[in-house]
Amino acid sequence: MLYDALIIGAGPAGSSAARLLAQAGWRVALVEKAEFPRRKVCGEFISATTMPVLKDCGVAVPFIAAAGPPVTRVGIYAGTTTLAAPREQPWGRALGREHLDVMLRDAALAAGAEFFAPVEVTAVTRDGDGFIGTLDDGREVAARSVIAACGSWNAKGVFAVPQEKPSPSDLFAFKAHFSGGALPAGLMPLLAFPGGYGGLVHTDAGRLSLSCCIRRDALAAARTRHGGKAAEAVLAHILQTTKGARAALGDAALQGNFLSTGPIHPGIRAREAGGIYFTGNIAGEAHPVIAEGISMAIQSSGLLARLLIAHRGEDYAREWKKRFAPRIHAASVFAHLAMHAPTRFASVAVIRAMPGLLGLGARLSGKASISA
């Protein structure tokens, strides 16, 4: 069987591309190496700007039904400062990746995509006008086109993100769910703490999601100061340095275990190479400080599917850059400020003087207000 598209990875990028192409009549092979459902290091927030693509994928209604309550205010917790944007508007909602990724995968299968899992694509080779993907169980998948949606954190082989030498500034990421706690309703604060940043949000089933990134050197210092496992030391560091996080998580109970990954690789990479299209994190990754990665993954697949269906694949790299590069650059500036001068970041006069700035920052990072 010759597929029209071989899609590598069934995260948000891969499954949404699979759904959109399959419902346009493409024969799609979607290959995923992990066993679903699976939790993932992620803050789980999805910006309201992504609702149109979720609608096109047929999951907008189930997403809203399953997700946590609307996020209506963004804010900053840094040192003893706790700021919340005064104006309320619908920024988006959060849904655990063990639910979101299954929902999107099932939408792709319902549209006719064929699912190969759990199995890894280990090689992609040219075959005449098309490609052959080799799976680690020995099977081969022939396709007219290939879409790499394999994420960036553990991509390997042909898709591996070049590893740089270990550096004190490498970022490691952690994630946990909590029950209870005292995060104000509707608020999603950015946590800015020495050597790192993170976020807190109400997610599905009454849970609180904490996710964060911390520099290698700050992690080592936190482990020396607090002892215990890496995740325990990071949590202790956040609670010790950030009053708002202490108030929100003081009485909360950890649900399940902490997850971790890293180093992560924020930046812009190739969107097309050798006839293979790249979407989601593998194409470009924003510092998670702006909680936009899932949205960018889904939106970039929406863009790619639309262009491929219109036989305009050659426009993808350029269009991608126009739509997503500004968010990646904005995130990099925010991340730098949050990690290196957390208290100044939160308390600079300009933020106090301009109550709209937090909202402006969120808009710059891609969170336009669209009702969700």
Ligand X SMILES: Cc1cc2nc3c(=O)[nH]c(=O)nc-3n(C[C@H](O)[C@H](O)[C@H](O)COP(=O)(O)OP(=O)(O)OC[C@H]3O[C@@H](n4cnc5c(N)ncnc54)[C@H](O)[C@@H]3O)c2cc1C
User: Out of 17, 28, 30, 41, which residue is the one contacting ligand X (CB under 6 A)?
Assistant: 41
Residue among 291 and 337 whose Cβ is closer to ligand X: 291
How many Cβ atoms from other residues are within 10 Å of residue 206's Cβ? 11
Residue type, 114: E
Q: Is 12 in the site for ligand X (CB under 6 A)?
A: yes
Residue among 48 and 346 whose Cβ is closer to ligand X: 48
Residue among 79 and 280 whose Cβ is closer to ligand X: 280
CB of 47 to ligand X, least distance (A): 7
Instruction: Say which residue the tokens 């604060």 belong to.
Output: 189
Q: What would you measure as the largest C-alpha separation in the chain, in angstroms? A: 63
Residue type, 95: L
Binding string, 245-284, against ligand X, x = CB under 6 A? -------------------x---------------xx---
Which 161-180 positions form the footprint of ligand X (CB under 6 A)?
173, 175
Residue 346, both tokens: 């939160």
In whole angstroms, give the CA distance from residue 43 to residue 198: 8
User: Out of 22, 42, 187, 308, which residue is the one contacting ligand X (CB under 6 A)?
Assistant: 42
CB of 11 to ligand X, least distance (A): 2
Q: Is 31 in the site for ligand X (CB under 6 A)?
A: yes
Q: Is 150 in the site for ligand X (CB under 6 A)?
A: yes
Burial profile 31-66: b = 16 or more Cβ within 10 angstroms, e = fewer: bbbeeeeebbbbbbbbbbbbbebbebbbbbeebeeb
User: Out of 7, 8, 187, 351, which residue is the one contacting ligand X (CB under 6 A)?
Assistant: 8
Q: Is 219 in the site for ligand X (CB under 6 A)?
A: no
User: Out of 5, 43, 73, 203, which residue is the one contacting ligand X (CB under 6 A)?
Assistant: 43
Per the CB < 8 A criterion, the answer to whether 148 and 120 are in contact is no
Residue among 197 and 345 whose Cβ is closer to ligand X: 197
Residue among 103 and 150 whose Cβ is closer to ligand X: 150
Q: Is 213 in the site for ligand X (CB under 6 A)?
A: yes
Residues in binding contact with ligand X, number by CB under 6 A:
38
In whole angstroms, give the CA distance from residue 96 to residue 67: 8
Residue among 204 and 292 whose Cβ is closer to ligand X: 292
Q: Is 44 in the site for ligand X (CB under 6 A)?
A: yes
Q: Is the dihedral of CA 117, 300, 54, 63 positive or negative?
A: positive
Which 121-140 positions form the footprint of ligand X (CB under 6 A)?
121
Which 93-122 positions form the footprint of ligand X (CB under 6 A)?
120-121
CB of 202 to ligand X, least distance (A): 12
Q: Which residues bind ligand X (CB under 6 A)?
A: 8-14, 31-34, 41-46, 120-121, 149-151, 155, 173, 175, 211-213, 264, 280-281, 288, 291-295, 297
